[in-house]
Structure 1
Amino acid sequence: MSNISELANVPQISFIENMTLQETEEQLKAEYARIYREQTGKELVLGEADAKTLLLKAFALIEYQTMQYADIKGQAELLKTSTGEALDALVALLGLTRQESKKATVKERFMLAEARADTVAVPAGTRVKKQGGRYFNTLDYAEIPPGATYVDTIVQAEEAGAESSGILAGEINILVDPIPYIASVSNVDESTGGLDVEDDDSLTERAYLAPSRFSCAGPRDAYEYHVREWRSDVTDVQITSPEPCVIAIYFVMEGGRLPNATEREELTEYISGENLRPLCDKVVCVEPEEVPYNIAFTYWIGDGDQRSAGTIQEKVTAAVQSYQSWQRHLGRDINPTELIAKIREAGAKRVKLTAPADIVVGKTQLPKCAGQTVTYGGLEDD
């Protein structure tokens, strides 16, 4: 079932009216008793171990299994409850297909020990890797001109998938295919763009927005659709028009990560294609402004929960992380009430919160936790 917020208030339909196995069995027995009475003029009396009772139970089980099958097939045809291959077939009606896994890319620097009087070529397909594996190769031919000491060029992971994303600058530092005079290699920024096969929630989100794409990217939803079409690891989008004919796109990547300059440039180029946007629109991708906040509180556990105090402390730690993830969304006001609720849900008896305070966040701003101080106050009377 989909977890996207747009469908949260859409009711989940039961095609069998939520009937249970017991209700199915009772219905079958009632019909059997009615027909028996009509044919014989007598009331049906059956014992629990009667052969007819056992047959009715068996028939009820088979009927209920058939009903369950029909219910599952019916729900597979609704966007909220469709998953897997059924979702693939459903969104095909909108001209959508599930995005395949993608290969990460990153800018790699090929460095000479010293400048030379001649040109040093870096052939297309040259392989580099990080310690322990994760191979990348250059996409295009590059060269270091006379007098220069390095050249930057884009390398792409040899294998698709999310595991090749997030490799920090300097970690892809092994030259697999030797090149004369090249003394060292390293990536100058973090690798991005490596994606696993698109998950159900992302595909459902695109299907929900898909009707907007039947217009060019003029409506807000249409621009959002095309942003999510560009990369399935975009988790948050805000579209504004700060001045006539200018479209500003603010977006956040999976895990609350801000897009880097390369990603903003790639999205700008993608959206600016004349088959996506009105010709009069100028598209700019803007890094959201981060709004810092701190977390500071002391909490106590009731002495009745003494035996599970260690588990509760672990749950409180997890609750703080969960709150930070929840809070890191474009335009979401900083809400200390939500933090208190999560801490209480984790099992704390009492919470004394000193930060954060209520802060209004603009729709293109992104909350960021700047630091946290969590103090366990001990056990106290219930």
Structure 2
Amino acid sequence: MSSIFESLKDIDFVDVDASGIQNSIITIFEGLIGQKLFPADPRRLFLMGLAQIIIQQQALINHNKKVDLLKYASGDVLEHIGVMYDVSRLPAASAITTIQFTLSVPLTSAIIIPAGTRVGPQGGGGAIYFMTTNVLEIPAGEVSGEVTASCSLPGSLGNGFLPEQINTPIDPIPFVQSVVNITESAGGAERESDDAFRERIRTAPESFSVAGPEGAYRFWAMTASSSIVDVAVTSPAECEAVVVPLLAGGKIPTQDILDAVDTALNDRTVRPLTDHVTVQSPTPIKYDITLTYYVSRARAAESTSIQAAVNAAVDAYRLWQKSKLGRDINPSELIWRAMGAGALRVSVAAPVFTEVTKLEIAQDAQVNVTYGGLADD
């Protein structure tokens, strides 16, 4: 969630203190009848039951009022708020890749590869395949051509097919000898999450400007794919803008994703006429993790579960570190997470604190986590 939301104090629109409501009801009733109501008094028991109904109603009123605010809204309510800013939730996105079609021989006339031509991964059995998104024309005398293709199934299922792994034509075309993907498939993502949608709604007013503010480029870049979780924008020179997107899980965007962002930003209704926009991948800053931890001897019976928890904490740190552009490599965060998982003492030889610029992304390389055994408090 945006740090702006995190910095906001929690609020209540009505009193939701259960004990306060109960005491108020009892006190008022005692004042009206001029008697004390003891715990076993049937009238007190009736009032306590009534108080529970009022408490639930207060909590419901408070919840329904709070979800009118962007910080607390979720689900359908969030979509209704988005409508006020002309922002809709991004649907699940299909992975994309670039497919190369190669002919057996050069032809004397052009050959057309229709849009929607299907190509699957070897051994896929037709359960998953990629379809060309545009018509491809291979001119006379040439033997190959390239076209973008999208996965038949939306979501992350189509991600991660390496070059040449998608090589089985499902729709045979005369004279086509081979079909392969020449880029790794990427960009597939589930339906946009509430947190990501909430952040786009918050930044939507930036998109109203035609002056090319940083927030506008960030907003429009994130509309290119629901797999984009962060965008950095900088201006190295006058009338120049460099836009750097980052994919979910800290993945570096492929050229296909960069092209999709470039297309979104260069729309005539988005890019200021005088701006030259460049879309590029973030620069990875590699770091290693070398960590040794110890478990309190008093918790020896829990050592197995603590080891599993520490390993999970290290994995969570790795994801946290690469989930935002410009996030400094911070070993203190790693120590805090490991100790929160139950470690008594943590010794970190690597990483060391390293500053990361807004166009860079920290990425873990070698990870070595060692259980040092039991230790006295």
TM-score, scaled to structure 1: 0.90
The alpha-carbon distance between structure 1 residues 196 and 60, as it changes in their structure 2 partners (threshold 3 A), is: same
Letter in 1 for 2:105: A
Question: Deviation string for 1:219-256 (max 9, x for gaps)?
Answer: 22222222223323222222111011101112211110
| Structure 1 gaps, min length 5 | 38-43
Alignment-derived partner of residue 341 in structure 1:
336
Residue 312 of structure 2 is aligned with which of 315, 318, 323?
Answer: 318
> Could you tell which deviates more after superposition, 161-170 or 67-76?
161-170
Residue 31 of structure 2 is aligned with which of 13, 23, 34?
Answer: 34
Residue 151 of structure 2 is aligned with which of 154, 157, 168?
Answer: 157
Residue 256 of structure 2 is aligned with which of 262, 268, 286?
Answer: 262
- Distance apart, 1:375 and its partner CA: 1.9
Alignment-derived partner of residue 356 in structure 2:
361
Question: Deviation string for 1:278-330 (max 9, x for gaps)?
Answer: 21111111222222211112222221121111111112211222222222232
Q: Distance in 1 between matches of 2:155 and 2:368?
A: 36
Alignment-derived partner of residue 239 in structure 2:
245
Q: Distance in 2 between matches of 1:16 and 1:324?
A: 41
- Distance apart, 1:197 and its partner CA: 2.1
Q: Distance in 2 between matches of 1:143 and 1:93?
A: 43
Alignment size in residue pairs: 372
- Distance apart, 1:26 and its partner CA: 1.9
Residue 299 of structure 2 is aligned with which of 298, 302, 305?
Answer: 305
- Distance apart, 1:27 and its partner CA: 1.5
Letter in 1 for 2:17: M
Alignment-derived partner of residue 272 in structure 1:
266
SS in 2 for 1:368: strand
Whether the 8 Å CA contact 1:291–1:368 is kept in 2: the answer is yes
Cα RMSD for the two superposed structures: 2.2
The alpha-carbon distance between structure 1 residues 326 and 160, as it changes in their structure 2 partners (threshold 3 A), is: closer
Whether the 8 Å CA contact 2:169–2:179 is kept in 1: the answer is yes
Letter in 1 for 2:46: L
Whether the 8 Å CA contact 2:329–2:351 is kept in 1: the answer is yes
Whether the 8 Å CA contact 2:230–2:247 is kept in 1: the answer is yes
Alignment-derived partner of residue 231 in structure 1:
225
- Distance apart, 1:145 and its partner CA: 4.7
SS in 2 for 1:230: coil
Alignment-derived partner of residue 65 in structure 2:
74
- Distance apart, 1:146 and its partner CA: 5.2
Letter in 1 for 2:23: E
Q: Distance in 2 between matches of 1:370 and 1:160?
A: 30
Q: Distance in 2 between matches of 1:194 and 1:235?
A: 12
SS in 2 for 1:242: coil
Alignment-derived partner of residue 128 in structure 1:
119
Q: Distance in 1 between matches of 2:290 and 2:211?
A: 44
Whether the 8 Å CA contact 2:95–2:159 is kept in 1: the answer is yes
TM-score, scaled to structure 2: 0.91
Whether the 8 Å CA contact 2:188–2:227 is kept in 1: the answer is no
Q: Distance in 2 between matches of 1:331 and 1:287?
A: 13
- Distance apart, 1:338 and its partner CA: 1.5
Q: Distance in 1 between matches of 2:106 and 2:275?
A: 46
Residue 2 of structure 2 is aligned with which of 4, 7, 15?
Answer: 4
Letter in 2 for 1:156: S
Whether the 8 Å CA contact 2:105–2:175 is kept in 1: the answer is no
> Could you tell which deviates more after superposition, 195-204 or 93-102?
93-102
Whether the 8 Å CA contact 1:108–1:155 is kept in 2: the answer is yes
Letter in 2 for 1:99: L
Whether the 8 Å CA contact 1:103–1:158 is kept in 2: the answer is yes
Question: Deviation string for 1:6-55 (max 9, x for gaps)?
Answer: 210111211223412x3322211112122223xxxxxx243444432232
Kindly report which structure 2 residues correspond to 1:129-144, keeping only aligned pairs within 5 A, or say none: 129-130=120-121, 131-132=124-125, 133-144=127-138
Whether the 8 Å CA contact 2:95–2:158 is kept in 1: the answer is yes
Whether the 8 Å CA contact 1:12–1:80 is kept in 2: the answer is no
Whether the 8 Å CA contact 1:217–1:223 is kept in 2: the answer is no
Q: Distance in 2 between matches of 1:200 and 1:36?
A: 51
Q: Distance in 2 between matches of 1:278 and 1:142?
A: 31
Q: Distance in 2 between matches of 1:376 and 1:31?
A: 61
SS in 2 for 1:221: helix
Whether the 8 Å CA contact 2:99–2:148 is kept in 1: the answer is yes
The alpha-carbon distance between structure 1 residues 165 and 372, as it changes in their structure 2 partners (threshold 3 A), is: closer
The alpha-carbon distance between structure 1 residues 251 and 126, as it changes in their structure 2 partners (threshold 3 A), is: closer
Whether the 8 Å CA contact 1:293–1:369 is kept in 2: the answer is yes
- Distance apart, 1:116 and its partner CA: 4.6
Q: Distance in 1 between matches of 2:56 and 2:216?
A: 42
Q: Distance in 2 between matches of 1:173 and 1:184?
A: 7
